[in-house]
Chain A
Amino acid sequence: MLSGARAALSVPGLVLFASYLGFGGLLFGMGFPLLPGLLSTLLIWALPAQVILVGGLASGTALPAIALAVGLSSIRLLPMVVAIAPYVRGRRRNTWAELLCAHYVAMTVWVEGSRLLPHLPAEGRLAFTLGLGNGLIGISLCGTLVGYLLAGELPLPLAAALLFLTPASFTILMVRGSRTALDWLALGFGLASAPLVAGLGGGMDLMIGGVGGGTLAYLIARWLRRRAA
């Protein structure tokens, strides 16, 4: 457990702190109350879903459309949990422990877990995952709190810089994560859709940009693959 918590104090932990610093600034900028904002970090524990939730609320999107968008953005967690579960699982299966561990799986825990867990003895992996997950959530809660409190105190240029942390870091993280044609196309279509659908209300903008852009990217990538084969 302690070695997992120590692993949380690392470069990915620092990036996470900065990202949640930006999210705290975003919460403050949207006028979202602090404690429910912290609750979102603890319970949702997936920054893209949190950004979609708060961003959607601020632009007046209908709640069912936000829930659908959050759900669609979080489907990516399913294959991540499926992929990492064999490492966390010891010799015998314990469904409750697996459900608890699955909560911690988001981008950072997944990347760090996939990197570190295979080198550990099987019986220590569950405790390591809990230590790593709780450590990273703790760091992120601090980031959210500090970002929220800072945003009210900072002079305008720095408040703008704080709010800008979220789009800047996410764009770069998505560029880093893009490997295949599908990734690049989906990233490009999603970004480019924003100015085109900005006026549409009720969640239509996200449906067109996300579901439409993603499906288009999938179809083009499949066509490219077939042509190359």
Chain B
Amino acid sequence: MIYDNAWVAAAIVIFVGFLPTEIWRWLAVLAGRRVEEGSELFLWIKGVATALLAAVVGRLVFVPTGPLVDLPLSIRLGAIAAGVVAFLLVRRSVLAGVVMAELVLLAGIWWG
């Protein structure tokens, strides 16, 4: 892999990860008063940012790596669904949702 060398990996973190992220924080301080919350541009940015993150999370569930590869898709999807349901039922507690998702996953591995 391209990132096996630690120096190459550090350079990638700086140029491919840090700079494309930090530039928005700098722009916000230097010129940010122009993007208003609720404007059409703001809404489009929000939609793209949400879908982008959801797409990456979806890939971790649908096309996983490492120790998750051998698990059937039904267990991975079931664990996510159980986590969301637990979150909604238990006072919108993120902790309850994550714990439930993990328990269902472990139960699926155990009896799967």
Residues of A that sit less than 8 Å from B by CB = 11, 14-15, 18, 29-33, 35-37, 39-40, 43-46, 48-53, 55, 57-59, 63, 66-83, 85, 95, 98-99, 102-103, 105, 156-157, 159-161, 163-176, 178, 182-183, 185-195, 197-198, 205-206, 209-215, 217-218, 221-222
Contacts and interface: CB of A to CB of B under 8 A. Distances in A.
Interface of B: 1-6, 9-10, 12-30, 32-33, 35, 37, 40, 42-68, 71, 76, 79-80, 83-84, 87-88, 92, 94-95, 97-98, 101-102, 105-106, 109-110
A227 to B, nearest CB: 16
A43 B22 CA distance: 8
Contacts of B25: 77-78, 81, 99, 102-103, 105
B62 A172 contact: no
Main SS of the interface on chain A? helix
Given A36-B13, A214-B50, A217-B47, A164 B55 contact: no
A79 B54 contact: no
Nearest to A104: B25
Contacts of A78: 24-25, 27-28, 32, 35, 45
